[in-house]
Amino acid sequence: MQSQATNEPRTPGQAPIKTRRFSISLVWIVPIVAVLVGISLVVHSILQEGPTIVVTFKTGDGLTANKTEVKYRNVVIGHVTDVELSNDQKSVNATIKLAKQAESFTRDDSQYWVVRPRIGAGGVSGIDTLLSGDYIGADIGQANSRAKHFKGLENPPPITYGEPGKRFTLHTQDLGSLDIGSPVYYRKIPVGQVVAYELDPDGKGVNIELFIHSPNDQYVTENTRFWNASGIDVNVGANGFAVKTESLSSILVGGIAFRAPEYSPNDKPAPEEYAYELFDDQQTALAPPNGKPQYLALRFDQALRGLKVDAPVEFLGVEFGRVVSINLDFDAKKRSFPLNVGIVIYPQRLGQAHMKMLAALNHDPNDEAAGVRLMGSFIENGLRAQARTGNLLTGQLYIALDFYPKADKVAFDATARPVMIPTVPGSLEQLQEKLEAMVDKINKLPVERIAGNLDGNLVEMRKTLSQFNSKTLPGVQSTLSNVSKTLESADTTLKSANSTLAEDSPQREQLGQTLDELGRTSRSLRDLADYLGRHPESLIRGRPANAAPMDLQGPPSK
């Protein structure tokens, strides 16, 4: 460096000011440029570096540090940098370094899972990992918040990559054979699948979540009915056997079908997360709405072996309820074991009859006291419950509510809950009672005395027939032979006399009448002999009252 004084004029009394000029050697330019380039590369690397997240899995199966990749739509968006046990040693933490363009995968609802070969309800997946090895699958979320720690899924989610469609919720008593991935059918075409299920908060049912792919989600309306299409539905009726199923897949892994009733006015597409009830079969699903249920109690004094829970309850031949409970009781007074049966009925299933009844009686279905009084009036008019045979082959029974005007009057307790409906013996029991009464009457008959009298009568009949065959018939035959000879003689005589008598003489007319009489007498004797040959017992019992008349008399003489 060199310093140089300025030639500027100085002010008298002022000290001179000295300035210095700095210069940089060319030797330092290359290191400075290298440092600047390095700093820029570091800054660029920092700016291009993606986020780091930690995903927790139950096991480390298929996870390898610096080898296992993270893929989305089969494109690598990151890799696993470290795999270690959690602090409580109950899970495995996988540290993942994401690419810069995958920063959106840090959304709070993003999902991660290990892709490996699997066989499930939705089919076979992850076959490509047999050659390439396991990797971590990812699905981007929709939340605005960000996170650095995620809980990995044990199974791949059924819906990924923002598939368009709608989710719906079904409520049922139990899951049955359904599982995640079970297909959903519309007119036997797969249009969706089961994506999740969980118990109700009270543990009394199961909520099933469905996903229906677009554009088929528009067919799910507010009036749509869902039913379980799993397995094979076999019905035995008057028309024979009927076998129904949606597909082979539904037989193996279960399935759900849906459809709206044929008549659904003012129906419109359902919004997402709309809740429905899952019915057991199509017939129940498409039936008219059940309406408000009503529980009733029955008490039978006879055994009902073929009666089961869920057996139908009918009113005048229309099914409108089912059996919900069957309990054996003990009657200390009668020393017997009656059967208490609980049923639930849905009066709204009676359709037009129920509506007209409410209108005619001005009855409010929400008024419980009025409903009990109405039931009491029906019982007073002969309403009774009876167990009837529904199938002679299987012996299954059902409950029938019907009116029996001649039934014994019973006292109705309007305060009992549930309402008690009086019963009458079943049709089979009534038939058994009639058969038992008939058998008792037969047992009371003097069978031995009747048999003894019959034996005596048969012995007398044999003797009489033997005497008739040995004595009477030969005499009759001899008489007929003599009559025949007499007629031949008379015929010869008449022929000779006919030649001597005039055609219009009185003698010839009397002779003709005599011959007619003889002919009729001969025919009568012949008929009598034939009848006695066929009915020899008439000699003892006489001629029966319903026997054909025997015209033994000829026409009146002129």
Is 306 exposed, middle or buried, given 0-12, 13-18 or 19+ CB atoms closer than 10 A?
middle
Q: Tell me, yes or no, if the pTM score tops 0.75.
A: no
Domain range summary for the chain, segments of one domain joined by +:
165-285, 294-424, 461-541
Q: What is the pLDDT along the chain (558 residues), one digit of tens a residue?
A: 444 444 555 555 555 555 555 556 667 777 888 888 888 777 766 666 788 999 999 998 889 999 999 999 889 999 999 999 999 989 999 999 999 888 889 999 999 999 988 766 555 666 666 677 889 999 988 888 999 999 999 888 888 777 899 999 999 999 888 888 889 999 989 999 998 899 998 888 999 999 999 999 999 999 999 999 875 555 544 344 455 555 555 555 578 999 998 877 788 999 999 999 999 888 888 877 777 888 999 999 888 888 899 899 999 888 889 999 999 999 888 888 999 999 999 888 887 887 788 777 777 777 777 788 888 888 988 999 999 888 777 778 899 999 988 888 888 888 888 899 999 887 656 566 666 777 777 777 777 777 777 777 787 777 777 776 776 667 777 777 777 777 777 677 766 666 665 555 666 667 677 777 777 777 777 777 777 777 766 666 666 666 665 544 444 443
What beta strand segments (E) does 22-176 contain? 52-57, 69-72, 75-85, 92-98, 111-115, 118-120, 123-125, 135-139, 149-151, 165-172
The pLDDT of residue 282: 86
The pLDDT of residue 96: 93
484 neighbors 518 (Cβ within 8 angstroms): no
The pLDDT of residue 216: 93
136 neighbors 68 (Cβ within 8 angstroms): yes
232 neighbors 251 (Cβ within 8 angstroms): yes
In Å, what is the CA distance from 169 to each residue of 195, 196, 273, 274, 414?
A: 10, 9, 6, 6, 41
pLDDT per position as a tens digit, 63-108: 999 999 999 988 999 999 999 999 998 999 999 999 988 888 999 9
Letter string b/e over residues 195-213, b meaning 16 or more CB atoms within 10 A of that residue's CB = bebeeeeeeebbbbbbbbb
pLDDT per position as a tens digit, 337-367: 999 999 999 888 887 887 788 777 777 777 7
The pLDDT of residue 256: 92
